[in-house]
Amino acid sequence: MMSANQRRDLHGLRALVTGATSGLGRAIALQLASDGADVTVHGRDATRGVQTVEEIELQGGMAHFVEADLADAASIARLAKEVGDTDILVNNAGLAVWGPTETFEMASFDAMFDANVRAAFVLVAAFAPGMVARRSLRHGRRSTARAASGSMLSRLARSTRDPRHGNSSMRSGPPRP
């Protein structure tokens, strides 16, 4: 097991980190860039996105920012198209709306589901085929799709595994150091 302070050589790899403008996502983006990955910083706040990119670049890394609303299907499709090929996907973004169940608006529930579940699923579906195709040709290492949302997305990933690829070395689950 790799400890949190060990460096990985990610030079030549492209990473997309959703929700990378603050908190855990920002820390993951900074670490991936520090390890050599070219990082796409995703978020909804352009000011914070630019700040994250600037910090990565000040530390010698490569990054760019893409704004997208993960609760909106068209915005997710645009994000996937704009990002292009990616080798590391960190589905970190999340939306939380709080309130009593009896008065909770279904529109708020739908927005949370779209941003927290559907977006992660759509992004894995968009990037996984390319990750699998490139893993032995380009890098000789496992491509990784990590989902910070945990066990539900792990079950979803297992249920959608394509038998044509066998054990494709795609992983889904909470981030590990």
pLDDT in tens, 30-48: 999 999 999 999 999 999 9
CA 83 to chain centre: 11
Q: What is the pLDDT of residue 30?
A: 97
Q: In what helix (H) or strand (E) does residue 63 lie, and over which residues does it extend?
A: strand 62-67
**Order of strands, edge to edge, in the sheet holding 62-67?**
62-67, 38-43, 14-17, 88-91, 144-147
Q: What pLDDT shows up at residue 177?
A: 43
State the pLDDT confidence band at 5, using cuts at 50, 70 and 90.
low
- What is the mean predicted confidence (pLDDT) over 75-91? 93
pLDDT value of position 75? 92
For the cut 70, the answer to whether the pLDDT of residue 26 exceeds it is: yes
At 2 the pLDDT is 52
Q: Is the confidence at residue 152, as pLDDT, over 80?
A: no
**Contact between residue 165 and residue 158 where contact means Cβ atoms under 8 Å apart:** no
User: Which range, of 13-17, 89-93, 97-101, 137-141, averages the lowest pLDDT?
Assistant: 137-141
The mean pLDDT of 166-171, rounded to a whole number, is: 46
Question: What is the spatial distance between Cα 68 and Cα 48, in angstroms, rounded to a whole number?
Answer: 13
Domains of the chain: 14-165 (3.40.50.720)
pTM of the predicted protein model = 0.75
Residue 132: its pLDDT value, please? 86
